[in-house]
Amino acid sequence: MIKDGMLKKGALTGQTILVTGGGTGLGKSMSSYFLTLGANVIIASRKADVLENAADELRSETGGNILAIPCDVRKYEELENVLKMGIDTFGGVDTLVNNAAGNFISPTERLSHKAFDVITDIVLKGSYNASLAFGKYWIKEKKPGIILNIVTTYAWTGSGYVVPSAAAKAGVLAMTRSLASEWAKYNIRSNAIAPGPFPTQGAWSRLFPEVLAKKLDPINRIPLKRYGEHQELANLAAYLVSDYSGYINGEVITIDGGEWIYGAGEFNMLDNVPSEMWDEIEKYTRNRKKE
Ligand code: HXC
Ligand code: NAP
Domains delineated in the chain: 16-290 (3.40.50.720)
CA angle, 58 then 37 then 228, to 5°: 75
Closest CA to 74 of 112, 45, 115, 114: 45
* Sign of the CA dihedral running 11, 16, 17, 23: positive
Give first-to-last CA distance, the chain, whole Å.
49
pLDDT recorded at residue 85:
98
pLDDT recorded at residue 3:
87
pLDDT recorded at residue 166:
98
Catalytic residue among 33, 154, 227, 262: 154
pLDDT recorded at residue 291:
72
Q: Which atom of ligand 2 is nearest to the CA of 203?
A: 25
Determine the Cα–Cα distance for residues 282 and 280; give it in Å rounded to an integer. Answer: 5
Q: Which residues contact 266 (CB under 8 A, 6 or more apart)?
A: none
pLDDT tens-place values along the chain, 291 residues long:
888 999 999 999 999 999 999 999 999 999 999 999 999 999 999 999 999 999 999 999 999 999 999 999 999 999 999 999 999 999 999 999 999 999 999 999 999 999 999 999 999 999 999 999 999 999 999 999 999 999 999 999 999 999 999 999 999 999 999 999 999 999 999 999 999 999 999 999 999 998 898 888 889 999 999 999 999 999 999 999 999 999 999 999 999 999 999 999 999 999 999 999 999 999 999 977 777
Candidate from 51, 74, 75, 104 with most ligand 1 atoms within 8 A of CB, to mutate: 104
**Ligand 2 binding pocket, CB closer than 6 Å:** 20-21, 23-27, 45-47, 50, 71-74, 99-102, 122, 126, 150, 152, 195, 197-198, 200, 202-203
CA angle, 50 then 121 then 86, to 5°: 50
pLDDT recorded at residue 289:
73
Q: Is 199 helix (H, G, I), strand (E, B) or coil?
A: coil
Determine the Cα–Cα distance for residues 188 and 237; give it in Å rounded to an integer. Answer: 16
pLDDT recorded at residue 7:
97
Rounded to the nearest 5°, which phi and psi values hold at 21? 65, 30
Determine the Cα–Cα distance for residues 202 and 190; give it in Å rounded to an integer. Answer: 26
Element (H, E) at 190: strand 188-195
262 is catalytic: no
How many A from CA of 261 to the centre of ligand 2? 24
Within 10 angstroms of residue 155's Cβ, the number of other Cβ atoms is: 23
**Model pTM?**
0.98
Beta bridge partners of 44: 20, 69
